[in-house]
Chain A
Amino acid sequence: MATLDNNAVIQGALKELQGRLPPGWRVSLAKPPSGGGDAVAKVTAPDRRSGSIWLELRTRLEPKGILPLLEVVKTRVRGPLIVVARYLSEATRAGLRSRDLGYLDLTGNVRIVVPEPGLFIETEGAREDPDRKERPARSLKGAKAGRIVRALVDRRQPPGVRELAAATKIDAGYVSRVLALLDSQALITRVGRGRIATVDWISLLRRWAEEAPLESRGQTRTYLEPRGLTALVARLGKSGETYAITGALAAAAFAPVAPARLAILWVRDAAGAATRLGLRPTEAGANVLLLEPGDEGVFEGAAPRDGVCYAAPSQVAADLLTSPGRGPAEGEELIDWMRANEDAWRR
């Protein structure tokens, strides 16, 4: 059934076809015979001989969809058939060629064989789906999305796609998809579909925290430092450990929040770090959480202060927003500080 959208594709296909025909050839839309194909195109040679091409429309066709398609069309199509879509991947086109099926996509990938009146066209168009980057990522749950969020929040000048991809070591295609999501959610604004104009970093941080809460971003283990957090901080300052303090203890290093009761640290290896720092595993009464990150991005922008290493404020804020106890309130206090002191933390 030809919908409006399908009509647009058919019209586009005819136009594409006309552009590829040898001089003197014409193409027009014929009335499809009952029961067969989405449309039939009629090609006419300069000597007025003509032939029909059955057009089979697909929104998308993957290689594994080729056999089922053959099953459907073989009974009802009598003559040359071409699959028409906005875009057909190289693998799909190869599969179609091996079964002697024609194809045409709107990027210019075309293969048409009409024995009578003798027409052969094979051209190559785009190698990648030009619409792919417009398909937004679905959420900010994953580690890669997290890195992109952090990079966007931390930069004073909104970066370009390529710069973002390089900074986060994530392929530009995925960066584009995350940006499309952020754009659709009004968390960033863009000039057209391109350059980022503004980043609403506060809403972006909150959304990220909501979709990727602290416990989803790492493995948590609980410990006791029986001498209290000041003793822990002093020991960290002397240790060779790779860590980044987050949570209220880190927030207190930037913003005026109440003294922390719980130390939260990102570390690569919790059990090893606990041993080296003299922490004791505990169920009840823990005052230290060691988190093994699912992604190294948590260490991005971490910096020493008074001899100990604190996670970047944006990381700390997102961690706090989904921390236990007073965490969410402290996260908001830190965001207030970040809002008032952008120069102190944005790069």
Chain B
Amino acid sequence: MIELDELYVMARRVLLDALDALGPHRDAIVLVGAQAVYLRVGEADLAVAPFTTDGDLAVDPAVLAEIPPLEKALMGAGFYPKTKDSVGIWITQRPTRLQGNTDVAVDLLVPASVSPGAGRRAARLPGHDSRAARIVKGLEGALVDADVMRLEALDAADARAFEVRVAGPAALLAAKVHKISERHGTDRQSDKDALDVLRLLRGTETADLAGRYAKLLDDARSADTARSAQALFKAQFSARSGVGVAMAIRSVGLLGDADEIAASCEALAGDLLGALGG
């Protein structure tokens, strides 16, 4: 990348701040969301802002220790809950050159099937504030398909780097199609999620993606999610009429060709589904 947007540099810095603050808990953390997509496959020729400033971190309750409490660690590093009712959203304020102070968020997310809390939102991790992390459907794959990657600052003056687990393309794909399905038709729907799916498809060889996906289908923690994600993926991306295709087209807007985006989704979705046996 030639010139990084100031916000990207800041987003990475805040993510490193959070990982730094989480200290011993880092082993229980998997980077997910758009920043993970970017680390895995880059922009994949889709010249639309690859990520927002938010950082998404999945927490594996089976690995997470009870001390120190997550909230204490994060608040000690300048993060605070977004609102008094918010769950798993940790905000910090940073100055920008042109726009004054801006909020940057780090979300702590627990895959639904492994969450100790059975409620709708709060993960209720033992030893931690009940609102420290929130339950998210479809994220289970991150516990199965992930690799340790070195996460460095984008700013030359910042020498920090952490070895952190980053969700693999199959886990990210499954999470994205669940998110698209869950938010479709609501005001929380984001077209960019579909573009991330296309980026994952473009940037990962079909054999690699299918191999990783097969592991999701094979692991008790992620099998249900992966199966439903496969059906959702087929409906959303394997035909031009799918909502995922339409979202990807809207997301690219004038920066791309609608027919090319649609044809690419159909072709690559067909390849993956074919490799998975339907």
Q: How many Å lie between the Cα of A231 and that of B45 in the bound state? A: 9
Whether A224 sits at the interface, judged by CB under 8 Å, is yes
> Which residues of B are found within 8 Å of A287, using beta-carbon distances?
257, 260
- The answer to whether B264 touches A226 (Cβ under 8 A) is yes
Whether B114 sits at the interface, judged by CB under 8 Å, is no
- The answer to whether B202 touches A227 (Cβ under 8 A) is yes
B253 to chain A: closest CB distance in Å? 13
B258 to chain A: closest CB distance in Å? 8
Q: Which one of A227, A284, A285 lies within 8 Å of B44 (CB-CB)?
A: A227
- The answer to whether A224 touches B256 (Cβ under 8 A) is no
> Which residues of A are found within 8 Å of B264, using beta-carbon distances?
224, 226-228, 285
- The answer to whether A285 touches B263 (Cβ under 8 A) is yes
Q: How many Å lie between the Cα of A259 and that of B203 in the bound state? A: 18
- The answer to whether B267 touches A224 (Cβ under 8 A) is yes
Interface residues of A toward B: which range?
10 to 19
A237 to chain B: closest CB distance in Å? 16
Q: Which one of B258, B261, B268 lies within 8 Å of A227 (CB-CB)?
A: B268
Whether A231 contacts B202 in the complex (CB less than 8 A), given A224-B260, A285-B260, A286-B260, comes out as yes
Whether B122 sits at the interface, judged by CB under 8 Å, is no
Whether A226 contacts B46 in the complex (CB less than 8 A), given A261-B256, A285-B263, comes out as no
In the complex, which residue of chain B has the Cβ closest to the Cβ of A231?
A: B202
Interface string of B37-62 (1 = CB under 8 A from A): 00000001111000000000000000
Whether B11 sits at the interface, judged by CB under 8 Å, is no
Whether A230 sits at the interface, judged by CB under 8 Å, is yes
Q: Which of B261-277 contact A (CB under 8 A)?
A: 261-265, 267-268
Task: Give the residue among A228, A284, A287 with the most B Cβ atoms within 10 A.
Answer: A228
B44 to chain A: closest CB distance in Å? 6
- The answer to whether B259 touches A259 (Cβ under 8 A) is no
Task: Give the residue among B201, B256, B257, B265 with the most A Cβ atoms within 10 A.
Answer: B257
> Which residues of A are found within 8 Å of B258, using beta-carbon distances?
285
Whether A229 sits at the interface, judged by CB under 8 Å, is yes
Interface residues of B toward A: which range?
10 to 19
B46 to chain A: closest CB distance in Å? 7
A238 to chain B: closest CB distance in Å? 13
> Which residues of A are found within 8 Å of B261, using beta-carbon distances?
285
- The answer to whether A228 touches B257 (Cβ under 8 A) is no
Interface string of B199-219 (1 = CB under 8 A from A): 001110000000000000000
Q: Which of A203-246 contact B (CB under 8 A)?
A: 224, 226-231
Q: How many Å lie between the Cα of A282 and that of B263 in the bound state? A: 8
In the complex, which residue of chain A has the Cβ closest to the Cβ of B46?
A: A228
Whether A133 sits at the interface, judged by CB under 8 Å, is no
Q: How many Å lie between the Cα of A280 and that of B257 in the bound state? A: 17
> Which residues of B are found within 8 Å of A259, using beta-carbon distances?
47
> Which residues of A are found within 8 Å of B268, using beta-carbon distances?
226-227
> Which residues of A are found within 8 Å of B47, using beta-carbon distances?
259
- The answer to whether A230 touches B260 (Cβ under 8 A) is no
Q: Which one of A229, A230, A280 lies within 8 Å of B267 (CB-CB)?
A: A280
Q: How many Å lie between the Cα of A259 and that of B43 in the bound state? A: 13
Q: Which of A248-285 contact B (CB under 8 A)?
A: 259, 261, 280, 282, 284-285
A103 to chain B: closest CB distance in Å? 68
In the complex, which residue of chain A has the Cβ closest to the Cβ of B264?
A: A226
Q: How many Å lie between the Cα of A230 and that of B45 in the bound state? A: 7
- The answer to whether B257 touches A261 (Cβ under 8 A) is yes
Task: Give the residue among A226, A259, A280 with the most B Cβ atoms within 10 A.
Answer: A226
B40 to chain A: closest CB distance in Å? 14
Q: Which of A66-107 contact B (CB under 8 A)?
A: none
- The answer to whether B263 touches A224 (Cβ under 8 A) is yes
Q: How many Å lie between the Cα of A265 and that of B268 in the bound state? A: 23
- The answer to whether B259 touches A285 (Cβ under 8 A) is yes
Q: How many Å lie between the Cα of A343 and that of B162 in the bound state? A: 48
> Which residues of A are found within 8 Å of B259, using beta-carbon distances?
284-285
> Which residues of A are found within 8 Å of B46, using beta-carbon distances?
228
> A224-B260, A227-B44, A261-B257 are known contacts; what are 8 more A-B pairs with Cβ within 8 Å?
A224-B263, A224-B267, A227-B264, A228-B46, A261-B256, A284-B259, A285-B258, A286-B260
Chain A interface residues (CB < 8 Å from chain B): 224, 226-231, 259, 261, 280, 282, 284-287
29 A-B Cβ contacts within 8 A? Answer: A224-B260, A224-B263, A224-B264, A226-B201, A226-B202, A226-B264, A226-B265, A226-B268, A227-B45, A227-B202, A227-B203, A227-B264, A227-B268, A228-B45, A228-B46, A228-B202, A228-B264, A230-B44, A231-B202, A259-B47, A261-B260, A280-B267, A282-B263, A284-B259, A285-B258, A285-B259, A285-B260, A285-B262, A287-B260
